[in-house]
Amino acid sequence: MFLGMCIGWAVRKCNCAACVSFVRCNDDEACGGLKDACQDGYCDCDIGFRSNGLRSRRHALKVFCNIEDCDPRSDLGSCYGLPCNPGICICPPEK
């Protein structure tokens, strides 16, 4: 078993920056995975956030993005399909 730590900004929190509005899409994957963000061939992150219970992207930035815990093993549950923020993991040298 490895014992170490992960460092970085907002590690294992929801990464809302993965969704970029106005990008062409065929499905939500092109919109960073945000559920219901692909609308009529283009990503609309605001609609994606609203369909998942947030009022707007601005509201998401205040109460959800880089704040909400993220489980990378969860399909859509923890971040509405958005990925987790990565970190840099550091393990101590073996003795």
Cα–Cα distance, 89 to 7 (Å, whole number): 6
For the whole model, what pTM was predicted?
0.79
Are residues 88 and 41 in contact, defined by beta-carbon separation less than 8 angstroms? no
pLDDT at site 73: 73
pLDDT at site 27: 97
Residue from 63, 30, 60 nearest 47 by CA: 60
On the question of pLDDT at 32 being above 50, the answer is: yes
Q: What is the pLDDT of residues 39-67, one digit of tens each?
A: 999 999 999 999 999 999 999 999 999 99
Domain ranges of the chain: 15-90
User: pLDDT tier at 1 (50, 70, 90 boundaries)?
Assistant: very low
Burial class (CB in 10 A: 0-12, 13-18, 19+), 51: middle
User: pLDDT tier at 12 (50, 70, 90 boundaries)?
Assistant: confident
On the question of pLDDT at 10 being above 90, the answer is: no
